[in-house]
């Protein structure tokens, strides 16, 4: 395969080298960060008995979960679960580990172990170094899009491009300028070969007051160039041919129309500016899924109205925070969940909101039953005291976190005096 002639844009930091490597045709190194928790044997078997279990769609009172190795083997009332070592989590709720569908963890240098300890067990980075799926074995499970594909001199270059400025937050942004149809297909193939699980594009002409990227002084005044429709369609076709979805950064009707015309699968943000109702209706009909990032865009004029209209029409709103933006927590974001609940005006209840970050998110990734607590699902779990349906905030401070069957946070077990989580083979009286 010949090396494509591309302008690879940015950065001064290590992720740029990864991107450069990628564009040169060699896969970027897969760096499976090891968070803590590797001490627990993955072949161990145990049963967790909280007051209730959220299975990724439904809250089930009086249920427990059995885990063997890295996998959930049974979910149900205590009497139906295997006779393995039992940990009673009195007063607690057990849930699937959260899936954040919009992050920039790697490019911003957020410690994966910190994210994991705060209940997010899977992150999909949209922009950053391309690399294959990794983690999930006592470490943060990470998926990546790789560099964002954009028009020549398109977003994010007018804001963050050209040697030195602030990054997506404060580090580096990564982008590839795509000029024509042939190059579009080639770039997509390179990204997928490097392990990209989704293809991220920019359809951002600028000018959305309140959006995080609008708070930085642009080097080039808007409107910024957008991908030509034929190039955009070639990217989408190329991604679909390789079994990948396309996720678009967009913030207004101009970007949304381009995305709808090209068959883009996902919008990486709820648009910042209010969209015409017929355009949101078109998105719902086309099966477009929208990753909220409502919290980081809370100063946008149209985000809440767009959310209400999209959800009211039956659109699928998914959980994603844009993690690494400076005002956001490194882990579960309760404020994002609250905004999803309130912006939907009663259309989504608290269970549906949690589902958008667990069961529905895993399904959206094509990785179901990831994000669920059902037999056969990866043993990624979090527990909090009380019932999070009544207080999302508790989720930001989980007292139990398990990744791939391995205990990463075990405060709840130690607090209850039931067993020793880090060394469960030592046994508990149950």
Q: Which residues contact Zn ion by CB under 5 A?
A: 322
CA 217 vs CA 150, 151, 212, 255, 273: distances in Å? 20, 20, 11, 21, 19
Q: Is 51 or 322 the residue whose CB approaches Zn ion more closely?
A: 322
Q: Is 309 or 322 the residue whose CB approaches Zn ion more closely?
A: 322
Q: Is 107 or 402 the residue whose CB approaches Zn ion more closely?
A: 107
Contact 73, 67 (CB under 8 A): yes
Q: How far is the CB of 14 from Zn ion (least distance, A)?
A: 19
Q: How far is the CB of 151 from Zn ion (least distance, A)?
A: 18
Q: Is 320 or 405 the residue whose CB approaches Zn ion more closely?
A: 320
Q: How far is the CB of 23 from Zn ion (least distance, A)?
A: 21
Judged on CB neighbours under 10 Å (0-12, 13-18, 19+), 192 is buried
Of 422, 353, 389, 330, residue with least CA distance to 120: 330
Q: How far is the CB of 325 from Zn ion (least distance, A)?
A: 7
How many secondary structure helices (H) and strands (E) does the chain include?
13, 19
Query: What single DSSP character describes residue 313?
Result: T
Strand, coil or helix: what is 176?
strand
Q: Is 99 or 373 the residue whose CB approaches Zn ion more closely?
A: 99
Cis peptide before 17 (omega within 30 of 0): no
Q: How far is the CB of 235 from Zn ion (least distance, A)?
A: 18
CA 135 vs CA 22, 87, 141, 380, 396: distances in Å? 20, 25, 4, 11, 21
Q: Is 57 or 160 the residue whose CB approaches Zn ion more closely?
A: 160
Q: How far is the CB of 200 from Zn ion (least distance, A)?
A: 9
């Amino acid at each position: 395969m010949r090396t494509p002639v591309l302008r690879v844009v940015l950065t001064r930091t290590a992720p740029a080298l990864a991107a450069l490597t990628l564009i040169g045709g060699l896969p970027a190194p897969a760096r499976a960060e090891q968070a803590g928790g590797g001490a627990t044997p993955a072949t161990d078997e145990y049963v967790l008995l909280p007051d209730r279990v959220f299975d990724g769609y439904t809250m089930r009172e009086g249920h427990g979960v059995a885990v063997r190795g890295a996998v959930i083997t049974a979910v149900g009332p205590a009497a139906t679960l295997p006779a393995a070592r039992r940990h009673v989590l009195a007063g607690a709720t057990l849930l699937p580990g959260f899936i954040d569908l919009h992050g920039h963890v790697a490019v911003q240098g957020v410690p994966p172990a910190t994210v994991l300890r705060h209940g997010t067990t899977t992150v999909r980075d949209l922009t950053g170094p391309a690399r294959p799926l990794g983690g999930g074995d006592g470490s943060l499970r990470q998926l990546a899009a790789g560099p964002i594909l954009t028009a020549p001199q398109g977003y994010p270059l007018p804001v963050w491009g050209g040697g030195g400025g602030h990054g997506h937050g404060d580090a580096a942004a990564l982008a590839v300028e795509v000029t024509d149809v042939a190059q579009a297909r080639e770039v997509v193939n390179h990204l997928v070969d490097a392990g990209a699980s989704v293809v991220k594009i920019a359809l951002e002409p600028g000018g959305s007051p309140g959006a995080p990227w609008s708070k930085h002084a642009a080097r080039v005044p808007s409107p910024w160039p957008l991908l030509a429709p034929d190039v955009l369609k070639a990217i989408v076709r190329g991604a679909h041919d390789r079994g990948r979805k396309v996720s678009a950064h967009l913030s207004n009707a101009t970007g949304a129309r381009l995305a709808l015309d090209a068959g883009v699968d996902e919008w990486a943000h709820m648009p910042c500016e209010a969209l015409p109702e017929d355009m949101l209706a078109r998105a719902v009909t086309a099966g477009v899924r929208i990753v909220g990032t409502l919290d980081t865009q809370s100063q946008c004029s149209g985000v809440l109205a767009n959310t209400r209209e999209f959800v009211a029409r039956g659109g699928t709103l998914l959980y994603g925070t844009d993690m690494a933006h400076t005002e956001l927590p490194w882990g579960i974001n309760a404020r994002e969940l609250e905004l999803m609940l309130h912006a939907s005006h009663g259309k989504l209840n608290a269970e549906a909101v949690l589902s958008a970050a667990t069961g529905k998110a895993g399904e959206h990734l094509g990785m179901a039953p990831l994000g669920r607590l059902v037999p056969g699902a990866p043993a990624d779990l979090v527990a909090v005291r009380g019932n999070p349906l009544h207080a999302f905030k508790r989720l930001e401070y989980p007292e139990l976190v398990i990744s791939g069957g391995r205990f990463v946070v075990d405060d709840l077990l130690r607090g209850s005096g039931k067993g020793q989580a880090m060394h469960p083979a030592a046994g508990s009286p149950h």
